[in-house]
Structure 1
Amino acid sequence: MAPSSPTRRLPLFALVVCGLAVVAAVVSFVRGAWPVGIVWVLLAGLSSNMAWYYVRRARLERASAEANGVSRG
């Protein structure tokens, strides 16, 4: 198994932040703190977009490396 590189960890961290933000948003809405809940929803959206960005960038880099005949471990 290859060591975990930062490019593999970033999407995972972003998804963890997204999940925690969703949980925090639900708790905030249940407690009646609507403005705080909205901020958590916005943070969840931002971290979700970051996760997709990093996954897509890694895929494009891998495809580019394969097209150029470069092997990346």
Structure 2
Amino acid sequence: MPRLALYAIAVCVLAVVAAVFSFVQGSWLGIVWVLLAGLSSNMAWFYLRRHRAGLSPAAVTTPAVRADGPVGRDAVGQPWTAQTGSAGRQNR
């Protein structure tokens, strides 16, 4: 299991304990702890899925780049490259 996933799970558990403690004390600050628990839970899930897929951190965050420039999609979903500009039209 990746180290960052373990840290995120630990933060999640501690945030849930803090939320319960806050609500028992009558403080509405527990809502912040619940939100932190949700965020850290999602982070743990992300790191576990990435680990199971065997992806490196660079593979997840690096955009696709080809010899003719970056590749993507425009606002309507058409393929876009730096060479063609927008939706397959050649820049002249």
Any stretches of 5+ residues in structure 1 without a counterpart? 1-6, 63-73
Deviation at 1:52, TM superposition (A): 0.3
Instruction: Percent identity, please.
Output: 69
Point out where structure 2 has 5 or more consecutive residues left out of the alignment: 56-92
Which structure carries more helix by proportion?
A: 1
CA RMSD of aligned residues (A): 1.4
TM-score (norm 1): 0.72
2:19 maps to what in 1?
25
| Structure ID, larger Rg | 2
**How many pairs are equivalent?**
55
Give secondary structure in 2 for the equivalent of 1:27.
helix
Query: Looking at both structures, which has the greater relative contact order when contacts are Cα pairs under 8 Å and sequence separation is at least 6?
Result: 1
Distance 2:2 2:35 in 1: 24
**Partners of 2:2 and 2:20 in 1: how far apart?**
28
Q: What is the TM-score normalised by the length of structure 2?
A: 0.57
Paired position in structure 2 for 1:51: 44
- For 1:15, the equivalent position in structure 2 comes to 9
Report the Cα distance in structure 1 between the residues aligned to 2:52 and 2:2, rounded to whole angstroms. 11
Q: Which has the higher strand share?
A: 2
